[in-house]
Amino acid sequence: MCLGIPGQIVAITDASRQMAMAEISGVRREVSVVPVAGADLNALIGAWVLIHVGFAMAVIDEAEAAETLEALRGLGEAQETLEAMAEGAKALEDAQ
């Protein structure tokens, strides 16, 4: 359910109807920013939003995204450490 994709707001096209132009990998589509609109629509320009059926449904939180990626990277490093330890243990075993 619910195909949603990240896009960047590049311009406000109709302030009265809260419409903006969003760009998704070089493709442009006018979207409604009603769900994420604050007092100043122009503040949205440059923001990354999650787009679903022509609406910007959420502003993507960069700090949270970075944190998620950090956790993923941590798992990768932990795995490398484990593999290194396993190799070390094996080398020790082989030596004995």
Partner 1 sequence: MNMAAPITRLRGETVTLAHGGGGRAMRDLIDEIFVAAFRPDAMEDQARLTHAALAKPGARLAFTTDSFVVTPLEFPGGDIGTLAVCGTVNDLAAGGAEPLWLSASFIIEEGMPFATLRRIVASMVREAAAAGVRIATGDTKVVERGSADGLFITTSGVGVIRAGRDLRAERIREGDVALVNGVLADHGATILAARGDLMVSTDIASDCRPLNGVMEAVLAAAPNARAARDATRGGLASALNEMAETAGVSVELDEAALPIRAEVKGVCEILGLDPLDLANEGALVVFVPTDEAESALAAMRAVPGGEDACAVGRAVTRGPVPVTMRTAFGGARIVDMLVGEQLPRIC
Partner 2 sequence: MRYVEEFRDPAAAKGVLAAIARVADEIGATREKPLHIMEICGGHTHAIFRYGLDKLVHEGIEFIHGPGCPVCVLPMSRVDECVEIAERLGVIFCTFGDAMRVPGTRKSLLQAKAEGADIRMVYSPLDALELARRTPEREVVFFGLGFETTTPSTAFSIQAAAREGIANFSVFCNHITVPPPIKTLLDDPHMTLDGFVGPGHVSMVIGTHPYDFIAEDYGKPIVVAGFEPLDLLQSVLMVLEQIRDGRAEVENQYARVVPEHGNPISLAAIADVYETRPTFEWRGLGEIDASGLRIRPVYAGFDAEEKFGIGYVTARRVVEEPEGCACGAVMTGRMKPTECPHFGRGCTPDMPLGALMVSSEGACAAYWTYGGARAAQMEAAE
β 19-24/55-59 pair status: unpaired
Binding string, 38-67, against partner 1, x = CB under 8 A?
-------------xxx--------------
**Of positions 15, 34, 84, 86, contacts partner 2 by CB under 8 A:** 34
Helix, strand, coil fractions of the chain, as percent rounded to 5: 45, 35, 25
CB of 92 to partner 2, least distance (A): 21
CB of 58 to partner 1, least distance (A): 16
Q: Does 45 bind partner 2 (CB under 8 A)?
A: no
Alpha-carbon span 25 to 42, nearest angstrom: 21
Pairing of strands 48-52, 55-59: antiparallel
Provide the binding-site residues for partner 1, judged by CB under 8 A.
Answer: 1-3, 5, 24-30, 51-53
